[in-house]
Amino acid sequence: MAHVNDNVLESIVNKVVSQVESDLIAQIESSYAQSLERLMASKASLESEYSKIVESASKQAENLKRQMVESSRLAVRNKQLLLIEEAVNNVLKDAISRIDGVRADERYETMMRRLIESALDAIGTDAVIECNDKDRDMVDRIALELQHKYNFSIEIGDSIDCLGGIRARSKDGSIILDNTLDSRIERLKPILKKDIARLFMV
């Protein structure tokens, strides 16, 4: 009887084990299928995320590249501007240093006469004219001529430090006209610079 019972028990145990085993296999298979499914889904989203990251990075790289190229171009252009400025200034400096030699040219006296006349035109009949030591005799002579010609009262003031030209003022000091070459060059500098730069084909 006990032997029979053992057999029955064994069969039941086997059945249960087999049932559990098949359930487990089914569960494992289902989990495996689910995992595969999830993996496939993740793969798609991963790929989409990956392409987003790549796209964003390539956009950033493109921006960085453009920024670097443009910055370099700008730096080169700025360096070029500094070099041109230096060259133009050198030419201007050289030209100014040669002005002293122009004094012997008869056109210098014509220019001085024009500068004095225009100063008197702006200031009026009572004027004080100042110039450098080198031009003093010439200015004295022109002033005397103009005094007789227009019946002006012109005084020759103290010497001033300048390349050439004159500075005129009314006797009460309320009006001043700086017609020195230094001042005129300064006023015309932007135009002179443009003309000099053109010589460099800029």
Footprint of other proteins (CB under 8 A): 63, 66-67, 69-71, 73-74, 77-78, 81-82, 84-85, 88, 118-119, 121-123, 173-179, 183-184, 187, 190-191, 193-194, 197, 202
In this complex, which beta carbon is closest to other proteins, that of residue 42 or of residue 125? 125
121 φ, ψ (degrees, to nearest 5): -60, -40
201 φ, ψ (degrees, to nearest 5): 60, 35
Give min distance, CB of 122 to other proteins, in A: 4
In this complex, which beta carbon is closest to other proteins, that of residue 147 or of residue 183? 183
Give min distance, CB of 78 to other proteins, in A: 6
In a 13 Å sphere around the CA of 162, the CA atoms on its Cβ side amount to 21
In this complex, which beta carbon is closest to other proteins, that of residue 101 or of residue 173? 173
Give min distance, CB of 72 to other proteins, in A: 10
In this complex, which beta carbon is closest to other proteins, that of residue 66 or of residue 141? 66
User: 108: helix, coil or strand?
Assistant: helix
Burial class of residue 182 (count of CB atoms within 10 Å of its CB; 0-12, 13-18, 19+): middle
In a 13 Å sphere around the CA of 145, the CA atoms on its Cβ side amount to 12
